[in-house]
Structure 1
């Protein structure tokens, strides 16, 4: 049973009262909810972008895009300065799956490869909780996120 828990990818869900297309648009505005230091684009298939936090950086490529339904960002390179395995996120994937019912849109966020037991899990869990469940949520619902 414990082995199964350790293999669970990081996952969070938020529900917002906006159309799926609006939610997808806000997700792609990375510099408005995650990182002010953002270069590139996260809007179309094969777009590439980088987020930076001081010494730390993460490079992504959009590897899957289903309009108003799903977007996947693959980590192509990274440097996580505060942990020993500075490349721990390389080849992990960040996935947003969107579903709508009536006036409600559910966003399922999964970081595939970020599982309990990896070096950054505790810090990264706190980061994603703030960025997704607070900042992205506020960007979508109030028009202003809280990027770092």
Structure 2
């Protein structure tokens, strides 16, 4: 039984939930436009539209995400094509599922598919996502995110 629960933990994807006062449309814009992504994560270029590619300026080198799904106010899915700063991410998928909160605002269900404890980078990446999802929240709800290299703060 212990091995089964350990294996389940090792294969569980990183997931998080973020609540926003803002509408699903506002959260979607922060995930689907280069201006939006640049405001909470890293400088971005390219296209956040479905079928497009986002190029992110990570230190020490770029990352490219294919936008597999971009359903307005509902869902965004990126597939990691290249990632110089974190090669373990190549082939993983990043899911953002949006839903209206019962009391107003938006709930984001976040999942980085393939980011599991089996990867050497898991703890570092979990800390990074915790930081950048809080930055996304602040960017959307207050207009001031914390994009860029979190280690230079």
Superposition TM-score, scaled by structure 2 size: 0.86
Aligned pair count reads 140
Which of 52, 67, 75 is residue 72 of structure 2 equivalent to? 67
**Matched residue of 2:66: which SS?**
strand
Match of 1:30 in 2: 37
> Offset at 1:63?
0.4
Aligned mates of 1:55, 1:19 — CA distance in 2? 34
Distance 2:127 2:61 in 1: 16
Measure how far apart 1:54 and its partner are. 2.1
The correspondence for 1:14, drawn from 15, 18, 32, is: 18
Write 1 or 2 for the structure with the bigger share of strand. 1
How big is the shift at 1:87?
A: 2.5
- Matches of 1:48 and 1:27 in 2, distance apart? 13
Within a 5 Å distance, the mapping from 1:1-148 to structure 2 comes to 1-28=5-32, 29-36=36-43, 38-42=44-48, 44-80=49-85, 87-100=87-100, 101-132=102-133, 134-148=134-148
- Residues 43-63 of structure 1 show CA distances to partners (whole Å, capped at 9, x for unaligned) of x11111111222232110100
- Please give the secondary structure, in 2, of the residue aligned with 1:128: helix
The CA RMSD over aligned residues, in Å, is: 1.3
- Of Structure 1 and Structure 2, the greater helix share is in 2
Shift of residue 77 of structure 1? Answer: 1.3
**Structure 2 stretches lacking a partner, 5+ long:** 149-153
Q: Structure 2: how far apart are the matches of 1:122 and 1:106?
A: 24
Moved over 2 A (4+): none
Contiguous gaps of at least 5 residues in structure 1: 81-85
CA distance in 1: counterparts of 2:70 and 2:54, whole angstroms: 15
TM-score (norm 1): 0.89
For residues 35-83 of structure 1, the C-alpha deviation after alignment (integer angstroms, 9 at most, x for no partner) is 13x22122x1111111122223211010012221100000111212xxx
SS of the residue 1:61 aligns to: strand
